[in-house]
Amino acid sequence: MILTFLLYASALSPTLYAATALLGICYGAQFRIMIPTTSELFGLRRFGLTFNFMHLGNPAFAFLFSHWLAGHVYDTQAAKQQVSSCMGPNFFRFTFLVLAGVCGLGTFLGILLTVRIRPVYQMLLCCRFLPSACKL
């Protein structure tokens, strides 16, 4: 998704179709991965509640970024140029760069979570195949 938002920020005409397709693939993969992630990290006891809470993140932050960030950037650029209607890539480039940065932060946090939880999965795998070595 970082690459997608950088392509949007570049605002080159040929890349817009590729960026849109890549964005759809990324969102589809994200929603597909959320189900096993929810069950593995939080268990199945309250799966419906936890999954729906995780599912709420996308629309909540989409509203936050589209209403607050993009709207503020749009109004600021319109006031600077003293126009009523903004056209062109300059008006939303900053918004797409911020979104790319947020996706970069999410990627870093995902890698950090993977590194932290790896010993747990190694222990579970060891217990499965070598029960005598299990220290549970």
Q: pLDDT at position 133, please?
A: 61
Report the alpha-carbon distance of residue 114 to residue 20 in Å, rounded.
Answer: 28
Q: pLDDT at position 2, please?
A: 94
What one-letter code names the amino acid at 21?
A
* pLDDT tens digits along 48-107: 888 888 888 888 988 888 888 888 888 887 888 777 777 777 778 888 999 999 999 999
Selection from 95, 46, 42 nearest residue 66 by Cα? 95
Q: Using only the alpha carbons of the chain, give its radius of gyration.
A: 21
Report the alpha-carbon distance of residue 104 to residue 2 in Å, rounded.
Answer: 6
| Ordered alpha helix ranges (H), 11-134 | 13-42, 47-55, 57-63, 71-81, 90-129
- Evaluate if pTM is beyond 0.85: no
